[in-house]
Structure 1
């Protein structure tokens, strides 16, 4: 199973150091002379740093606003059993993103917000916000109600108990929701392809730039893909322990 999962990534990583001739050779060449030409194309010919800044900005803003709205919403769903609200948010998550694309395009075009961070952040929040709400709602349900009730008996408001007691105890859940929401936003291609132009193009567009009607620059595609995946992999490896704990919290209740 590990070999099946890792094989595509290993093949992509190896191909990023091959020439175009070596990549399309048959049978595949397992022994080759590595080259950095593909990475020079990505970082030299393509405006990769600009795309990186755009992706980082959009992902951070989308995740930040999703946490700002999603954490109180998840707490409300968990403590007041707001199942209808939860189902509405789940429905928004399950709907294919392309169904939102045309309405977003019409709205942002008429508001002159095309090729703006506002358009991309709001569209990416369609992905990030439901993730935050659903992960954190399960996490908050697993926390004993006695914690904030004891604080309120001592005179604290519910808001104070939420910010000073519940949130500090919800670190693994918040890290899990933040990591997953960031990765989904980071990898999103569809919204950036339609709603952004030269000013706000994101990293997935860097891969698309290596595709043409005449040929596909497989070396550039592989190098750009490795460069795009690297931050997400590093982030996942750093917070892996918290992600596992956050996803399993609330799975068993007793």
Structure 2
């Protein structure tokens, strides 16, 4: 018995040529990505190196990369500058304000998307566009009458005022992207409108919630102006605490770099943990179905 062999199909020369032409483009694209990553990562890398140096080493160009590292700056940050308390204040304010924003903003976004209240969503977003400095004077007056100035609650409330519109806007686009058939199927199965939100829409909205949470936490963590005006020495957050390393006579660059490294580490870890949800969350409103 003889077996016949099928002739191997050769690749189209035009396809081969396109693949050969694509290789230099791929290399150039990869090189561009590497260059962009280095440009953005180098300041943080330099900050980490500077946090392990003394002020003399920082000012010496010959010791930019080759030096004897020290942890003295980190010890000084936590032992003499009360940085642990400021770190705790920042965590409490960021978590509390983000939690309240999600608790109020997610149901509001679902209602706006469900009942097509697009104009109302635009009105909410207007609160995010208003410059925060315009709100400081009336806030300070109202909060001082309420006896809240100098407490952590004043920061939580002020951050919610800015974070809530952001959460609502992001989640509205996400809920609009969910297929309407899922809600209708839930109603057919006997769920109420609230039941479809809790058992169908909410579990499917995890990427959007993660995106909104990360952006809200980043805003709260990095906010300087509210903490500068509305807090006292016991409720300061990390952005204002950095100014302790700046004096009239000079700047303690080594301590400042160590404090900045401590401030940025938690938010970077949080962003790395949640980053896989960010793209899907931000682009959820781009398509429907």
1:77 aligns with 2:112: yes
Question: Any unmatched runs of 5+ in structure 1?
Answer: none
Q: Is the 1:73–1:133 Cα contact (8 Å) retained in structure 2? A: yes
Match of 1:208 in 2: 243
Say whether the 8 Å CA contact 1:127–1:185 is kept in structure 2: no
What residue number does 1:247 align with?
282
Find the residue that maps to 1:70 and give its secondary structure.
Answer: helix
Q: CA deviation at 1:35?
A: 1.3
Residue in 2 that maps onto 1:51 = 86
How many residue pairs were aligned? 254
1:144 aligns with 2:214: no
Q: Are positions 1:197 and 2:232 aligned together?
A: yes
Question: SS of 2:131's equivalent?
Answer: coil
Cα RMSD (Å): 1.5
Structure 2: 5+ residue runs without aligned partners?
1-35
User: Is the Cα–Cα contact under 8 Å of residues 178 and 288 in structure 2 kept in the other structure?
Assistant: no
| In structure 1, C-alpha distance between the alignment counterparts of 2:277 and 2:203, rounded to whole Å | 14
The alpha carbon displacement at 1:150 in A equals: 2.1
Q: 1 CA distance for matches of 2:61 and 2:141?
A: 47
Give the secondary structure class of the aligned counterpart of 2:220: helix
Give 2:54's match in structure 1, choosing from 19, 24, 37.
19
Instruction: Answer yes or no: is 1:222 the counterpart of 2:257.
Output: yes
Which of residues 138, 146, 157 in structure 2 aligns to 1:111? 146
What displacement does 1:117 show? 2.0
Partner SS, residue 215 of structure 1: coil
Q: Calculate the TM-score normalised by the size of structure 1.
A: 0.95
Aligned counterpart in structure 2 of residue 31 of structure 1, from 61, 66, 70: 66
Matched, 1:157 2:192: yes
Tell me the residue number matched to 2:14.
none
Q: Secondary structure at the match of 1:11?
A: helix
Pick from 114, 128, 133 the counterpart of residue 163 of structure 2.
128
State the TM-score, normalized to the length of structure 2: 0.84
In the other structure, the counterpart of 1:41 is 76
Larger radius of gyration: 2
